[in-house]
Structures are given as structure tokens and as C-alpha cells.
A = this chain, B = another copy of it.
Amino acid sequence: MSRIFNFSAGPATLPLPVLEQVQAELLDWHGSGMGVMEMSHRDKEFTSIAQACERDLREVLGVPANYKVLFLQGGATAQFSVVPQNLLRGKTSADYIVTGDWGKKAFKEMGRYGRANLAATSEAEKFTTIPDRASWKLDPDAAFVHITSNETIHGVEFPDAPEVCGVPLVSDMSSSFASRPIDVGQYGLIYAGAQKNVGPSGITIVIVRDDLIGQVLPGTFAIHDYKVVAENDSMLNTPPTFAWYVCGLVFQWMKNEGGLAAIGERNARKAALLYDYLDAQDFYRNPVAKPYRSKMNVPFVLANAELDAEFLKGSKAAGLIGLKGHRSVGGMRASIYNAMPEAGVAALVDYMKEFVRTKG
């Protein structure tokens, strides 16, 4: 077996020790005589797995006791609707800071439930920056302020949680979730599809402050009512048990790796290695304003786009896959999530250098 370096934006590479443990336990989990996929979600074997996952997630992220952790289905796309359904709470509008295509989609969905206020956008700059905080037109009566912590397509990331004057801050953290230490207490709600940093696709994690839940809009499905889901330990109906289990193993791996402090430092080193090279020559270019460059998704273009196909063909031959940029921005994108080792980024930079040497 030969493992490649997989730079896909998600579903994405997973830690090898996690995959090895999944493999070892697949037919017989801890001597139970069955695999996790086959366990009733109501039995003590699976509930112990589910509870351990939540406990480790809370420890790794430092989730305060007054926050609920929910395990849902439907991805961030479902949450674009479910968040307003839960968080409007009698209010009529919400503020959106749009810094890329995902934020734009979230903003559009909000319009179905109330007034979506475009408090700031960097669309005029082709989503290569984050609008200066002083320019945001926030409404003090907004139900919440929505940001996308990291825009997967454009490679733009908030360096910190912005100050929003006491209005609950909601973040789509799908592609930067659990990639570095954060202060969960600065957010009203965090949501994330698991398939970037924490597990397979098909499970969505929501972390929400408990005073914000319990006032859903009429017409909200029970399985989308955060309070009902919380009261049922995310098992109102059959949850995606296997995905939940894999997430649990990833949180255990994060603890073994030294937690988010160590993981965040490693991610910063990986990003620096790639951005430093991108800035040191003229053949490749990353268009994002330096303070807002993503540590997770690094888009770059070749000076000569006619070489794109050759670059991709050669990278695949070199064991580096998933580098094609999103069709909306073109060029390349290297997604360097938690599970991408430093050796993978080094191999990518080596390949890029060699490509310049022979084709530049």
C-alpha cells in the first residue's frame, strides 16, 4: 500500500492512526462481536462512543458548560436555513459579513426567514480580503451576526472572532473547525461539517449557547430544533453512528497530538512554508491580502494558465492529488487540514519548485 498526499478540500485526508484503528475495529469493536456500523444507537456500546466523542470535543475545544454540542445531518448547507429557524427568536433580521461564496449562500438563505442585512462584503475585491471592521454596518437589533470563519474556495480566514457589540456571533467554521485554539465563549453558535478536519462527510457539529435555543420558527422540523435535539442527546432519530465514531477517534488523536495548541502551531508552520514560497517567486501567486490568508485552504494561480493541466498531471504522478482549484476561481488550491503532515506540504513545495525549473 502506498498512501498519497491528498490536498482535497473535503472530504479530505484523515489521520493515518485513526484510519488504522477504524480498520482494526471494523468487524469487532472492543470484543463486542460486531462493528460500530452495526450497533444499535440505543445500546450502551454506541452511547459510550457518542459520549466519549462529545467529552473529547469539549476538552479539545474548551467548550464552556453553558454550550450544547449537537451532532446533526445535512452539512453546513442545511445549517444555512436551520440557524435562522432557531436563532431569530422573535427578531426580524440578521447581519451577514460575506467574505466568499459560502457566506453568500448563507446570506441568501437567511432571506427566506427574515431580513438579511449585508453588513459588509468583499465581493468587489473578488473575496480576496475581509472588509475592515470599522466599515461594517451592524444593526444593534439583529438577531445574530453571521461570519464564515474560513472561506474554503477563496482561502480567506478571519484571524480572530470579530467584536460585534454583544449580538450573538454565528460562525460557519466548516473548513477551519478545530484547527487552532479559539475562545468558544466569543461565539453564540459555531457550526461545521465534519469532512475537513474532524471526520467523514455526513455529520455536522453545532455548538450553541444554551440561552439562544428553544424558540424555533413555525414549520421547523423537530430534527432541526436545537433544543429538541439537545434534549434527546442528538438521538431524536437514528444518528449517523459510524461518522460520529470516526469523529470521536479524531478528537482522541488531537489530544494525543498535544491538543489544539500543538496542532495550531503545526498548521501555522505548514501554511508559512507554502505562503513563503508563493511570495518568494513570480511563477505562482496567491491573491489574498496577507492578514486574511487561510491556514487551511491555499489557492494559487500559475503565471501561465496554459500550464495548469500539465501542473496537475505532474502533481498526480508525484503522489500529490486534489490540487485543482474550485471552478469559480480557477488555478490551484492546496487544502492543508490538520491531518496533512508537514512532509506533504514540503513535498508540494518541492514539486512546485521542480515544475518551475523545468517549465518556468
User: Among the listed B13, B39, B78, B236, which residue makes an inter-chain contact with A38, where contact means beta carbons less than 8 Å apart?
Assistant: B13
Q: Mark A1-28, 1 if CB is under 8 A from B, else 0.
A: 1111010111111101001101100111
Q: How far is the CB of A176 from chain B (nearest CB, A)?
A: 16
Confirm or deny: A243 has a beta carbon within 8 angstroms of a beta carbon on chain B.
Answer: yes
Confirm or deny: A201 has a beta carbon within 8 angstroms of a beta carbon on chain B.
Answer: yes
A236 CA / B76 CA spacing, docked (Å): 12
Q: How far is the CB of A259 from chain B (nearest CB, A)?
A: 23
A270 CA / B279 CA spacing, docked (Å): 68
Q: Assess whether A239 is in contact with B38, with CB atoms less than 8 Å apart.
A: no
User: Among the listed B22, B39, B78, B193, which residue makes an inter-chain contact with A11, where contact means beta carbons less than 8 Å apart?
Assistant: B39
Chain B residues closer than 8 Å to A28, beta-carbon distance: 1-3
User: Among the listed B3, B33, B43, B112, which residue makes an inter-chain contact with A33, where contact means beta carbons less than 8 Å apart?
Assistant: B3
Number of A residues whose C-beta is below 8 Å from B? 60
Q: Assess whether A10 is in contact with B112, with CB atoms less than 8 Å apart.
A: no
Confirm or deny: A341 has a beta carbon within 8 angstroms of a beta carbon on chain B.
Answer: no
Confirm or deny: A181 has a beta carbon within 8 angstroms of a beta carbon on chain B.
Answer: no
A8 CA / B81 CA spacing, docked (Å): 34
**CB under 8 Å from chain B, chain A span 201-256:** 201-203, 219, 221-223, 236-243, 246
Confirm or deny: A40 has a beta carbon within 8 angstroms of a beta carbon on chain B.
Answer: yes
Confirm or deny: A200 has a beta carbon within 8 angstroms of a beta carbon on chain B.
Answer: yes
A203 CA / B20 CA spacing, docked (Å): 24
Confirm or deny: A322 has a beta carbon within 8 angstroms of a beta carbon on chain B.
Answer: yes
Q: Assess whether A11 is in contact with B26, with CB atoms less than 8 Å apart.
A: no
Confirm or deny: A73 has a beta carbon within 8 angstroms of a beta carbon on chain B.
Answer: yes
Chain B residues closer than 8 Å to A22, beta-carbon distance: 26
Closest to A33 in B: B4
Q: Assess whether A37 is in contact with B11, with CB atoms less than 8 Å apart.
A: yes
Chain B residues closer than 8 Å to A203, beta-carbon distance: 202
A32 CA / B319 CA spacing, docked (Å): 10
Q: Mark A172-213, 1 if CB is under 8 A from B, else 0.
A: 000000000000000000000101000011110000000000
Q: Assess whether A77 is in contact with B223, with CB atoms less than 8 Å apart.
A: yes
Q: How far is the CB of A306 from chain B (nearest CB, A)?
A: 23
Confirm or deny: A309 has a beta carbon within 8 angstroms of a beta carbon on chain B.
Answer: no
A322 CA / B43 CA spacing, docked (Å): 8
A23 CA / B19 CA spacing, docked (Å): 10
Q: Assess whether B8 is in contact with A35, with CB atoms less than 8 Å apart.
A: no
Confirm or deny: A295 has a beta carbon within 8 angstroms of a beta carbon on chain B.
Answer: no
Q: Assess whether B236 is in contact with A77, with CB atoms less than 8 Å apart.
A: yes
| Given A6-B34, A81-B221, CB of A201 within 8 Å of CB of B238 | yes
Q: How far is the CB of A135 from chain B (nearest CB, A)?
A: 31
Q: How far is the CB of A5 from chain B (nearest CB, A)?
A: 9
Q: List 9 A-B contacts (CB under 8 A).
A: A6-B38, A10-B40, A19-B26, A73-B240, A76-B237, A193-B238, A200-B242, A219-B219, A243-B243
